[in-house]
Structure formats: C-alpha cells, structure tokens
C-alpha cells in the first residue's frame, strides 16, 4: 500500500489494524489511523521540497489517497 506509514519518509500516512505493536509479546495493536502534519505552504522555507531546510524527520508533504474524493479537503478543514 503506497500510503503505508512505514513506507513514507516522514511518518505520515495510513496505519493498518495490527500495523503497530507496543507489546513485544503481542501480535499488534487493534487500532488504525491516518497520520498527517501541517500542509507546507508555498512560502514555507521548511518544506521538504527545499531539501536542506528540512529540520525534522516528520517534516514534509503529507500523503493522500487518490481514490477518496474530498478526503484531503475534509481532513484539512477538520
């Protein structure tokens, strides 16, 4: 899955059921989520598209599903 949080460089995207495990004896946590951060602005000098200005591992563009019409807009509005 292209939006899998474990495949993105900045810890953003989808976490599936059993996709994370905080208990080494367990099979995974029974939660799912979609992690995003602030959307980079065109004038934002910390945008990952500017390369060296990136200062944290979680900084940079969000990933969005292409097949869910309105998901990005609704999520950002929320």
Domain encompassing residue 76: 1-78
Based on the structure, what is the number of domains in the chain?
1
pLDDT of residue 63: 93
| Nearest-angstrom CA–CA distance, 7 and 77 | 26
User: Residue range 34-56: average pLDDT?
Assistant: 66
| Nearest-angstrom CA–CA distance, 3 and 27 | 22
5 pLDDT tier (thresholds 50, 70, 90)? very high
Which has more pLDDT, 12 or 59?
A: 12
Which has more pLDDT, 12 or 51?
A: 12
Across the chain, the runs of DSSP E, i.e. the strands, are 13-15, 33-35
Looking at residue 30, what DSSP letter applies? S
pLDDT of residue 50: 44
Residue 7, SS3 per DSSP: helix
pLDDT of residue 52: 47
């Amino acid at each position: 899955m292209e939006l899998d949080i474990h495949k993105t460089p900045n810890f953003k995207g989808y976490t599936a059921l059993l996709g994370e495990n905080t208990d080494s004896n367990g099979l995974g946590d029974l939660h799912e989520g979609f992690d995003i951060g602030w959307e980079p602005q065109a004038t934002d000098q910390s945008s990952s598209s500017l390369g060296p200005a990136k200062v944290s591992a979680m900084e940079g563009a969000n990933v969005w599903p292409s097949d869910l019409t309105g998901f990005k807009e609704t999520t950002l509005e929320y």
